[in-house]
Amino acid sequence: MKIAYLNIESPENKFAWSGLNFSIYNCLVNTGNEIVYNKSLESFKKLEITFKRIFYKIFKNQYYEAIRDNRILEAYATEFEKFIAQEKPDLIFGAGSAHLSRIKTDIPIVFWADATFENLNEHHNYLKKLDKTTFENSKENENSIFIKASKLIFTSDWAINSAISNYQIDKSKLELIKFGANIENVIVKEKVEKNIKDKKLSEIEILFIGIDWMGKDLQKVLDTTLELNNLGKKTFLHIVGSNPKIDEKYIDICKVYGFVSKHSVEGMELLNDLFLKSHFFFMPSKAEAFGLVFAEASAYGLPSISNDVCGISSVVNNGVNGYLLQKESTSFDYANLIIDLTKDETKYKELCMSSRNEFEKELNWNIASKKLKKLLNEIK
């Protein structure tokens, strides 16, 4: 089967959608089908998009997103239709759905996404700043592509439930396939097992990774680290992804690394070291559609701690590869959880091994590719 993988950004761009465009492309290739993809449209209509973004922000105090603009979507559709006419694929596949919403074709469409527009609207305030027409168009466009698509793949029950309740999509069209850890060279299981065996609990090291440190609630992680030290549990925090200004009271219990690229040798060496030496990955996001980094933590045998919000429970399974507390939980609650989890070294290490096993069983791209291959075969 010939599959046209259509996206705004080329899968050759390993930074697009946190590397997911590239990983999904490889996942498709591993199904054994012939995969073709369009050239990047990232610079397409760039001047118009830039102008609109500035205009809406300064003169309307509103948010502008090209993927919600019908004029831009029609232009994308024209380019996609030219590519379809040239390649004559048997199936169209997209990472996400909005960019496919205006395509006119009878060829079956499948897309893989981590949230619906209604999911995002419920948990992200920025969408409420869209102008009314764009907001309504976004809902109509998504409803249209949901109806048109042969299969809708989502990464969580949270998103699937939204497709059913908000869009009345039949369950037979829906499929749950989780994203895998976005790590090109995964540490072999034997090394992870040895690292777990050698870990000591006399001092706890916590890892936080997030560019949007406010949305990922770094403040709660800092407060939890301080709380643990105040309770007599010596704890140190590693902060990766951003350069927040740290209050003086936290200076001695944390280190800020800034942005670290996993696409450089030095960056990957540092990330490997931090994932392996830490005792917990802690990112209590205020909203998170999936959370690739939780899957990555599991690959290192590192238990995750977070909030039970949105789609996180599809990647962090309580008692298996981490623990989720309710969104209103305090730093004191999280500190007590960490103390409880490190009281018994044997049980803590069992949780670490269980985390790696969850990666092997569920949170890797090989598993995703097998599930995707089965789904695609059913559409033939």
Asked if 379 contacts 40 with a C-beta cutoff of 8 angstroms, the reply is: no
Asked if 307 contacts 284 with a C-beta cutoff of 8 angstroms, the reply is: yes
Superfamily covering domain 2-180+365-379: Glycogen Phosphorylase B; (3.40.50.2000)
Band of residue 148 on the pLDDT scale cut at 50, 70, 90: very high
Q: What is the pLDDT of residues 232-277, one digit of tens each?
A: 999 999 999 999 999 999 999 999 999 999 989 999 999 999 999 9
Asked if 237 contacts 225 with a C-beta cutoff of 8 angstroms, the reply is: yes
Q: What is the pLDDT of residue 240?
A: 98
Alpha-carbon distance of 367 to 380, in angstroms, equals: 21
Domain boundary assignment for the chain: 2-180+365-379, 189-361
Q: What is the pLDDT of residue 380?
A: 66
Asked if domains 2-180+365-379 and 189-361 share a fold, the reply is yes
Quote the tokens at residue 339.
């103390």
Q: Mapping DSSP to helix (H, G, I), strand (E, B) and coil, where does residue 143 land? A: helix
Q: Helices 345-361 and 292-299 meet at what angle, rounded to 10?
A: 120
Q: Is the pTM of the predicted complex or chain greater than 0.75?
A: yes
Q: Which residue has the tokens 């999904």?
A: 24
Radius of gyration of the chain (CA): 22
Is the model's pLDDT at 10 over the cut of 80? yes
Q: What is the CATH number of domain 189-361?
A: 3.40.50.2000
Q: What is the pLDDT of residues 37-49, one digit of tens each?
A: 998 887 777 888 8
CA 273 to chain CA centroid, nearest Å? 22
Q: In this structure, are strands 204-209 and 235-240 parallel, antiparallel, or unpaired?
A: parallel
